[in-house]
Each structure stands twice: as structure tokens, then as C-alpha cells.
Amino acid sequence: MRVSYQWLREYVDVDISPRELAERLTLAGLAVDAVDEPGAGIEKVVTGRILKIEKHPNADKLVVCTVDVGQGEPLQIVTGATNVRAGHVVPVALEGAKLAGGLQIKRSKLRGVESRGMLCSGQELGMETKLLTPEMAHGVLILPENVAVGVDAREVLGLNDAVLELDLTPNRGDALSMVGVAREVAALLNKELKMPNPQPAESEEKIDRQVRVDIQAPDLCRRYVARLIKGIKIGPSPMWLQNRLRAAGVRPINNVVDVTNYVMLELGQPLHAFDYDKINNGHIIVRRAAEGEKTVSLDGVERTLSADMLVIADAAGPVAVAGVMGGQDSEVTEATVNVLIESAYFHPTCVRRTSKGLGLRSESSLRFEKGVDINGCLKAAERAVELIRQLAGGTVVAGVVDNFPRPVTEKTVSLRPWRVNRVLGVDIPRQDIVDIMQRLQFRVQEQGDDLLVTVPTCRPDITGEWDLVEEVARIYGFDRIPETLPFGASTQGRRTPEQQLLWEIRDVMTACGFYETVTYSFVHPRIFDLMNLPADSPFRNAVRLQNPLSEEQSVMRTVLVPSLLEVLQRNLHRQVQYGALFEIARVFYPVEGQALPEEVPVLAAVAVGQRPRTWNQPALPMDFFFMKGVAEQLLASLGFTETVFARHQDPSFHPGRCARIEINGQLLGVVGELHPDVIENYELSQRAVALKLDLRQLILVKRPIKQYRGLPKFPLVERDLAVLVKQEVLAAELLSVIKKAGGNLLKHADIFDVYQGSQVPEGYKSVAISMVFQAPDRTLTDEEINDKMQRITNSLTAQTGAVLRQ
């Protein structure tokens, strides 16, 4: 909503600057985004009358004008404009003038002829071309003949104004009008509100037999007012009206249409003007459109209507789309003599649906969508015919057609002053609260300790006492409400154990060099084929959307790894050869007999390529062992030290490079290299590895409590052991046997080498293990270490068949 400061002062005696007013309105809840001063920086531009025009002696495309600017001797000005004629009144930039954009005018010679100024176009004065009338949009601005000479052009064109751009909330449709904003300003400044009081002079001719209105859809049109004015003359609007429309962002058209737009901007009630002679028998029918019915709107486009749209029709068919746009067959043209004015209330939802369905959005539909004052229809029609009679002549036919099946009365809300002070934390006297209500044009009656507040129908956003409390706070001033500290019982904010676990997982994964991603929960069904899932896989049982945006997002995902692979694929296509990504999100499993699926939190990670070298680490291939190390690091950081990795078969993973992850016999997830078919399906140029963890199961596993101990005082002892063992024996089995046999004195055991070659019998492998022993209370002796080593060797031989390598 654009509010002209000069126009606003017709309704309220505003005695503060536009910028101060903008601040006051913003603090009161009507946010002002900007204050535009269109004439700022323009100097020494006046009106002038062209006395004569002569051809330029040295240029075919230039003319020499003699212009009277009301300052003594006429000026000689050279111009290339082709639309000027002798007698035209135009804006003239004098010597030393400043125009929009900082252009300065100096005395100059054009092809040998002296020019003492410049004839100005609208663009040179900072005016928007789209808001100018057709005759003013091209070339030099041609002003009305009755404009005085030598007057400041900014005043004539309304450029000495300030325009406030309001960003209104959806509930404040009442502020989409000059009177609505003026009502707020009057309340804020405690000034008198001067409302227009139309009283059009009428002829003796009656409207009864000339106009008839039937409302066949009273649920969509609750009131329809029609007035008739005859014998008008279509022409341009006076400058004051054009200036106000342009300030509000509306292009002037002609005096009748401009009046309807002016009243809409002034009172907030959209109007429409019909050429009365084009309405069949003057009979207006407000009805639902027939399915597939067509009409040609004012923009010349044929529109196809649906049955949920409302139209204004006569016996021959639609003449307008209700609340959105008029029809071409009944529009006001230069030949129009008799005009029928429509002022109605259309259901906001219907107008919104129609506007969206037709792709038409207008100033009228914007106001109908937010809800107009149903009791303001008649006043708007009266105001329009009064102005049309003044600007276009004609006579107003006596009487009005007002089809109002169910009149709406003003609602009354009870307000408790003590409650106002309790909620706001202030001590506003009772009389001040009454005064604020009355300043907002609310009527107040005393009822014991309470107040009965009658709210006008122009404020449909006021529904209860809490809304009136807000009104008191706005007008009283939010900045006057003292700051107070909260009181009462308080609790310390902290994360739940589940939230803390997820944050720790994020920290570890990012520390391992992974980037977190966020992908859509909706996926394409083909991901199950891309991931090599068999036809009977339970993961294919996905929730299908009833109204998907596209087939690409038609089911809810049951697996998370494909979403990350799509990101990797997109990056690799853009020459990003390295990628390590993870995501913590939910997958969705349908539950038989339940409307909603089961949501399971999971962690997925994928990596491809080779991790770049850093200052303290060499380049590292992103293979199975890398991802397994990430999984071990993650689980160890969370406190899970008894993690087991065992061989596993998963159709999405390489059959020989895949392991399941278990804790206390509970399957938590899978880690491994992706199946070659999956890599090919996602067009990855190299091997990729993945990790998936069921965080729901991880949350259920009881995390060990961290215990902190002092640094050991006694030295550690390192021993290495090399054994020969059959190839099918897993390294994890060896480590499990060693840790059990080593007891409390064994602190660490790691495999650092696996060898198969000419020095090892066929079917066997050589495994080298590094072990660290340490006691918290003494220095270990050789006898103790040797005893532990012997126990470990015997256990390996007995349980795995391993023998010491000689």
C-alpha cells in the first residue's frame, strides 16, 4: 500500500514529518518499508507555454521553441521532441536546473543555435512511464491547458509529495485505504479524523425501473449496490486526481475509471463502472459461472471459467468476473454516455480462488481477498457518483439498488481494564483506555467495572478481548511499556540424550572430513532398482504420495544412501573428483493398519575418490578400510568399545567387502564398498564406500558412563606377535581371543601387518599383532609379561589354530 503524505493530510492534520510519521506507524504495527520523495533533487523546473515553433536552420530533426515561463522575456529552447505544438504547456528546466539522476542543465548551443533550457519528459523528472497516460508517456510531458505558467512543475505534477510504502499484515485489510491509514494516524496523533461525506445531487428520474439486481449466489455475494449516472462526457482526469493515482501506483485512464480507482484507494471499497447501455435491459445477475463458460476480460484475453467462480452477468452472458476484472463487452469507452456503478461485497475465498485460477491479480482482488467493509458499499457508491458528476458532468438518477439479503451488525466486545494492565504490565488509567478506543472510532459503554466496546465492521480482525488489548498497546506505544525481567520457576535448557547423541555424531563425522547434507524425503521409486534391491526386499514397501509434485518425488524414502549418491553423482559430473558426505535424517516404513508411517532416524555416509593430502597427513584412499575406520572412530567416540564387525551380505554392497556392525549381538548397521552395479547405475567413475547406521537401535543401547582417571605413573611394555593362521580366520576373531587372554593388563592390541606369499604355506596367512601392557599400580616384570604372552599364544592355538611364525 502506497500512501501519499499530501493526500493523507486531507483527512488528518498531520503535524510531523513523513519520516517521523513512518516511524510512528511502524511502531504501531503498520510497518513502513520506505519513504519515497519523487521530487527530491529536482530544482528550477517550472511550467511554460510554447508560443511558437520554428524549424532549426542546421538540423532537420530539431526545432526551436519560444517558451513563456512567466519570468519576463520568453526563452529560446532547442528540442528534438516531435509531440510539442504551439500553445502546449510543458515542464521547462531552466538554466542551472537539476533533474532526476543528478543531470544539470546549462546554457548551450545545439548545431549553432543557443538553447536556454530544456523541455522535460516524465522520465527526466523521475516519473514512472508505466504510470503516465498514453499522451504523456512519449516525448515531452504535455500538461493541461489551464495550468498556470511559471509555477513549480513539482507542485503541478505532485512531485513535491512523500509516499510511504506500507507492508501490511494479512489481517489489516482495513489499512488498504487512505481513510483506513488516516484512522490510524488520527488515533496515534490524537487528531480529528475528517471523513468524506458524499451527498450527490440527484435528478427526478428514478432508478427503480431502470436497474435490477438479482443475487443467485448469496453465499458468495452478500451485498450488491448499484447506482446510475446519465449524460456523462468521457475525458482525461484533472491533474490533482492523476497525481494521486500515480502516487498510489495506479495509471490514470479516464475520468470515470479514475474515479472508481480513486474511491477504492480512498475508502478501500473496490468499484466497477459498466457502460449501462451495454447491459441487457439493465438487469444484473450475480451467479456462479457455468463450467467451461468463456468471457473476454478488459485485457482482451478470453478466459475459461469454472463452476466455483462468481460472475456478474446479464441475460446474454457474463459482463465481469466478480471482484477480479471487468469484461470487454461492457467496458467504459470514449463513446460511453450512461454509467452503472457497482459496489459489492464478494466472499474473500471465492475471489482468491478465482484470481489464482485465472492468473489475474488486481488491486480490487487484493482488497476483496483480505475482506472489505460490507457496510461501506453504499458510501463508496455515493462517493463515486458524486465525483463523476463533478468531473464528467451528467445527472445522478435518484435512488439506489441495494440488494443486501442479510444485513451485518457491528459486534460488541467486553474489555476489562484491569486485564489490559495485567497483560501489558503497565498501569494505564481507565479513562485513557476509553480514550484510545474512541480515537480508533470504537464506541464505548460503561458496564460496571468493564467496558462494552462496539467495533465497526471495517475492523473484522477484532474478534475478542485479546485483540482490544493489542489495540491499546499499539496506540499507547510499545516503546512506553517498561522492560521487566521474567519471574517464576525456571529450568536450565539442555539437550535430551537423543539430541546430544546426534550432535556428537555430527562432530565426529565432520572431524573425519565429511560434509553434512540435507536432501528431500521424497524420492523416485527407481532408486530401489538402482540400489540392486531384490523384488522381495522389505525396503521396496514405501509410502506413496497421493498428490506428488512429480514422479521424481512420488514416494517417501526407506533408504538414505541413494540420496547421498545422487549428490555425489551431481558433483562428479561437475568435475569434483573427491567427496565425503553424511546425513542424519528419517526414513519412513509403512505400518499396516496405521495411517502414518513409522519414522526411523538413520545415519548414512558415502565417500568416493581419495582424500586430499593435508600438512600433517598423506593422501588417503576412500576404500573399505577407510570407512570402517570412520565407523570405529564414531562408535568409540560415543563410548561403544565392544563393537563387532563381521562378514555380511547386502545386495547393495560388494559381496566380499561388506561388514555388519554389532553391539551386544544387536545389528546396528552396515559398512562396505558399494556393489559395482550400484556404482555403474549412479555413473560413478570410481569405487565408492558407504556406511549406514540405525540410530534408533543405537539410542536404545545403553551408553557406558565416561570415567576419568589420572595419567598412568608406571611405564608401558610393548610386545609384537606374529602367527600363522588359516585364511578364513577373521582378524576380529584373533583380536577377541587376545583381549580375553590378556586380561586387565592388556591395554591395546592392533593388527599392523597381514602377509601372504612364498614364505607362508598355501591357504595360510601371517598376521602380526602389536600389544601394549601396563599396570596402574606397579612396573610390570618380564615374568608377568612372558606369562601373559604365553597365555595369549596358547589361547590363539586352542581357539583359532594359530601357531607362532618361526
At the second CATH level, the architecture of 43-156 is: Beta Barrel (2.40)
- Residue 252 grid coordinates: 490514470
Beta-carbon neighbour count of residue 487 at 10 Å?
6
Would you tell me which CATH number, out of the four given (3.40.50.720, 3.30.70.380, 3.40.50.1820, 3.40.1160.10), belongs to the domain 717-804? 3.30.70.380
134-149 b/e with 16+ CB inside 10 Å = b?
eebbebbbbbeeebee
Per-residue pLDDT at 26 exceeds 90: yes
Per-residue pLDDT at 97 exceeds 70: yes
Residues 233-270 have pLDDT tens digits of 999 999 999 999 999 999 999 999 999 999 999 999 99
Indicate if the alpha-carbon torsion angle 408, 414, 417, 418 is positive or negative: negative
Per-residue pLDDT at 533 exceeds 60: yes
What average pLDDT does range 776-782 have in this prediction? 91
- 555 contacts 525 by C-beta, under 8 angstroms: yes
Residues 393-409 have pLDDT tens digits of 999 999 999 999 999 99
Residues 622-662 have pLDDT tens digits of 889 899 999 999 999 998 877 888 889 999 999 989 999 99
Q: How far apart are CA 373 and CA 378, in angstroms?
A: 10
Per-residue DSSP letters for 139-192? Answer: SBPPBPTTSPTT-BHHHHTTTT--EEEEE--TT-GGGSSHHHHHHHHHHHHT--
Q: How wide is the angle at C-alpha 440 spanned by C-alphas 437 and 443, nearest 5°?
A: 55
Cα 368 to chain center, whole Å? 22
Residues 611-631 have pLDDT tens digits of 766 656 667 788 898 999 999
Beta bridge partners of 341: 227, 273
Q: What is the mean pLDDT of the chain?
A: 92
Q: Is 471 annotated as a binding residue?
A: yes
Amino acid at 787: D
**Phi, psi values for residue 611, rounded to 5°:** -65, 130
**Phi, psi values for residue 275, rounded to 5°:** -75, 110
300: left (phi over 0), alpha (psi -120 to 50) or beta: left
**Phi, psi values for residue 649, rounded to 5°:** -115, 125
Q: How far apart are CA 170 and CA 164, in angstroms?
A: 18
Pairing of the two strands 283-288 and 212-215: parallel
Q: How far apart are CA 57 and CA 573, in angstroms?
A: 67
How would you class 248 by CB atoms within 10 Å of its CB: exposed for 0-12, middle for 13-18, buried for 19 or more? buried
CATH for the stretch 202-403: 3.50.40.10
Ranges for all domains in the chain classified under CATH 3.30.930.10: 497-700
- Looking at domain 497-700, its CATH class is alpha beta
The H or E element containing residue 638 is none
CATH 3.40.50.2300 fits 2-37+162-189, yes or no: no
Shortest CA distance to 643 belongs to which of 634, 655, 635? Answer: 635
What average pLDDT does range 681-690 have in this prediction? 91
Listed in sequence order, the residues at least 6 apart from 448 whose beta carbon sits closer than 8 Å to its beta carbon are none
Q: How wide is the angle at C-alpha 223 spanned by C-alphas 221 and 227, nearest 5°?
A: 120
State the pLDDT at residue 617: 64
Residues 127-164 have pLDDT tens digits of 988 888 776 778 899 998 999 999 999 999 999 999 99
Percent of the chain whose pLDDT exceeds 90: 74
State the pLDDT at residue 616: 63
- Residue 460 grid coordinates: 473484522
What average pLDDT does range 189-207 have in this prediction? 92
Listed in sequence order, the residues at least 6 apart from 483 whose beta carbon sits closer than 8 Å to its beta carbon are none
Listed in sequence order, the residues at least 6 apart from 76 whose beta carbon sits closer than 8 Å to its beta carbon are 64, 65, 66, 67, 113, 114, 115, 116
Residues 324-349 have pLDDT tens digits of 999 998 999 999 999 999 999 999 99
Return the minimum-mean-pLDDT range out of 236-250, 478-492, 593-607: 478-492
- 6 contacts 161 by C-beta, under 8 angstroms: yes
- Residue 204 grid coordinates: 427526478
249-288 b/e with 16+ CB inside 10 Å = b?
ebbbbbbbbbbbbbbbbbbbbbbbbbbbebbeebebbbbb
State the pLDDT at residue 615: 55
Ranges for all domains in the chain classified under CATH 3.30.56.10: 2-37+162-189, 414-456+464-479
What topology is assigned to 414-456+464-479 in CATH? Phenylalanyl-tRNA Synthetase; Chain B, domain 1 (3.30.56)
Cα 513 to chain center, whole Å? 34
How would you class 609 by CB atoms within 10 Å of its CB: exposed for 0-12, middle for 13-18, buried for 19 or more? buried
- 363 contacts 372 by C-beta, under 8 angstroms: no
The pTM (predicted TM-score) of the whole model is 0.68
Per-residue pLDDT at 769 exceeds 90: yes
Ranges for all domains in the chain classified under CATH 3.50.40.10: 202-403
How would you class 199 by CB atoms within 10 Å of its CB: exposed for 0-12, middle for 13-18, buried for 19 or more? exposed
Percent of the chain whose pLDDT exceeds 70: 99
What average pLDDT does range 475-504 have in this prediction? 86
Q: Is 461 annotated as a binding residue?
A: yes
- Residue 789 grid coordinates: 604372552
Residues 277-330 have pLDDT tens digits of 999 999 999 999 999 999 998 888 999 999 999 999 999 999 999 999 999 989
State the pLDDT at residue 396: 95
State the pLDDT at residue 634: 94
- Residue 292 grid coordinates: 467451461
Which residue is it, cell 552396515?
670
Higher pLDDT, 51 or 664: 51
Pairing of the two strands 555-556 and 221-230: unpaired
Q: How far apart are CA 125 and CA 740, in angstroms?
A: 91
- Residue 329 grid coordinates: 463487452
Shortest CA distance to 541 belongs to which of 602, 489, 598? Answer: 598
Q: How far apart are CA 719 and CA 558, in angstroms?
A: 48
Relative orientation angle of helices 465-476 and 430-439, to the nearest 10 degrees: 90
